[in-house]
Amino acid sequence: MDSFKRLISYYSQHGFFKTAKRIIRTLDRLFRHNESMLFFADIADLKNNTIELPIQLSIEKITKKEELTLKDLGRILSHSHSGIIDHQMNERFMKGAVLWILKTNGNIAGFEWSIRGRNTIEPYFFPLTPNDAIIFDAHTWEGYRGKGYNAILVHHIMVNLSNEEVTRIYANIKNWNRSSLEVIKKTHLRPFGIARKFQIKNKIITISNAFD
């Protein structure tokens, strides 16, 4: 009932065509909820292995929660449900994940996580080796989007991981997340397949199809 009221309210404010587009986007998102686009990059193909940041940007590598200032921790927890984010953060650091924070003029503009192959929080879409790494859960705050910051952060992560004997990096993005799919085109990551993940009685089942 609440959803119906919100739809009527949106229709009264925006009219038929915008409401129809919103309904189509919602249905598309529901249909693609469990469908992810898979991406990869071989470190050996990284042509530019230097890191040159604009003067106003800095990137911090965080390996444990205690390395975060209270200001930065509060900023990260504020972007979603703080209890869930805090639990995820504790779990990820325990597994050896790394949080990469991008700042502009000292203020957090965005972040992304990375983790080595066999230490994933839950089974990945396919088996990984110890020399594989995954980058995941990127976020850029409004006001900093559209400036190419995520591509800069991904390149920085890849160069740093190459110094840690990582040979291949993977990423996955939900197919309904069109904005993130557009952003990743600016990085070295390339698409190679589509995968779906389901959970049945605490067992995670994945179905993946590689592109020809």
**pLDDT of res. 81:** 81
pLDDT on residue 49:
72
User: Computed over its alpha carbons, how large is the radius of gyration of the chain?
Assistant: 19
Q: Are 171 and 135 in contact (CB under 8 A)?
A: yes
Q: What are the residue boundaries of the structural domains of the chain, listed by start? A: 1-31, 33-210
pLDDT for 20 equals 77
CB 198 within 8 A of CB 34: yes
pLDDT value, residue 201: 55
Which CATH number is associated with domain 33-210? 3.40.630.30
Tens digit of each residue's pLDDT, the chain (212 residues):
455 666 677 667 778 777 777 776 665 555 556 688 899 999 888 767 777 888 999 999 999 999 999 999 999 998 878 888 999 999 999 999 999 999 999 999 999 999 998 778 777 878 889 999 999 999 999 899 989 999 999 999 999 998 888 999 999 998 878 888 888 988 889 998 888 765 555 555 555 566 65
Q: How far apart are CA 140 and CA 136, in angstroms?
A: 13
